[in-house]
Structure 1
């Protein structure tokens, strides 16, 4: 065991479907290894730190932090409901970029860092990969939870509905008549 007592399963939480899957996986890993679950939501001011500092009317930091805390509580409630994760856990709201916040939090060699691997779309150039950052910089093992195949289908259905394309209700089940 490391320098802080109990083992920890540290998980990045944003509220996305991928982070909720990672949250469930981290809870399972914590249960399996008798570890504490540490759910981390990283936040930055809108537009980033530089834009916030140079803004004429920046949002109060306390409000932004409170909003981040509420997003974390909502994600935990969405994932586990009133029953909770079934293991000792803490929620942590950290100001900073997601990758750096997760790596700095999971700073023990016996921690396990669990993250949603995210989509494999073409937006990687605009949004650097948190997964890639964590794998490159973490001092502990990193478990990247791939997106559910159902997530891609859900996104496709949502796109078709928003474009007002026809949708056969049978496609929402298993495609069989």
Structure 2
């Protein structure tokens, strides 16, 4: 069975990618796999031996519940119109997506993420990782227009800049 694999993190960009992946799955008559990657407290490799089994079980349960909520938020009462599978994986996001979309008939859909230089230096790009390592076609979805507005509000709050009421008027 063909699959369309999409990364889900809860950002507006990942929700846009999820909707685009659902549309691609309908066109291709494929299954839709929504993949959420998670890591134990403390991050990557150093945390593998440092967390007890109950902590890892709680982290996995929290990731599964978050994925469930995000899929409900994205599709609501109306299903996407294709077979949907939610997958929670303990891994870095890029590695989890590349591993999930390993078939040559698969399609991997990822959000393009932020284009800010500072953010790219601090946080590696999942889309770039997938483009470099995937064995199947990769579709990158640009951030929705709302993302730029959210980033502007975040910068304003970070720098404690006053709000100009004229910016609120259309």
Q: Using structure 2 for the length normalisation, give the TM-score.
A: 0.89
Partner Cα distance (1:63, 1:36) in 2: 28
Confirm whether residue 166 of structure 1 aligns to residue 163 of structure 2: yes
Structure 1 residue 150 displacement after superposition: 2.3
Indicate the larger mover: 72-81 or 52-61. Answer: 52-61
User: Which residue number in structure 2 is paired with residue 152 of structure 1?
Assistant: 148
Deviations 1:56-102 (Å, cap 9, x if unpaired)? 87861110100110111111111111212121110001111110110
Q: Is 2:109 the partner of 1:143?
A: no
The CA deviation at 1:128 is: 1.2
After superposition, where does 1:111-122 map in structure 2 within 5 Å? 111-121=106-116, 122=118
3-state SS of the aligned residue for 2:76?
helix
**Distance between the aligned counterparts of 1:157 and 1:50, measured in 2?**
34
CA distance in 2: counterparts of 1:55 and 1:84, whole angstroms: 40
* CA deviation map 1:132-166 (0-9, x unaligned): 11001101000000111221012213443562612
How far is 1:45 from its partner?
Answer: 0.8
2:69 matched to 1:74? Answer: yes
Q: Is the contact between residue 34 and residue 84 of structure 2 (CA under 8 Å) also seen in structure 1?
A: yes
**Residue number among 14, 20, 36 corresponding to 1:41 in the alignment:** 36
Query: Which structure 1 segments of 5+ residues have no match?
Result: 1-5
SS in 1 for 2:135: coil
Q: 1:156 to 1:58 in 2, by over 3 A?
A: farther
Q: In 2, Cα distance between the equivalents of 1:14 and 1:36?
A: 19
Q: For the aligned residues, what is the CA RMSD?
A: 2.0
The answer as to whether partners of 2:106 and 2:137 remain within 8 angstroms in 1 is yes
> Any residues of structure 2 matched to 1:1-177 within 5 Å, and which?
6-53=1-48, 55=50, 60-121=55-116, 122-160=118-156, 163=160, 165-168=162-165, 171-172=167-168, 174=170
Relative distance call for 1:56 and 1:89 in structure 2 (3 A) is closer
How big is the shift at 1:50? 3.3
For structure 2, the 5+ residue unaligned runs are none
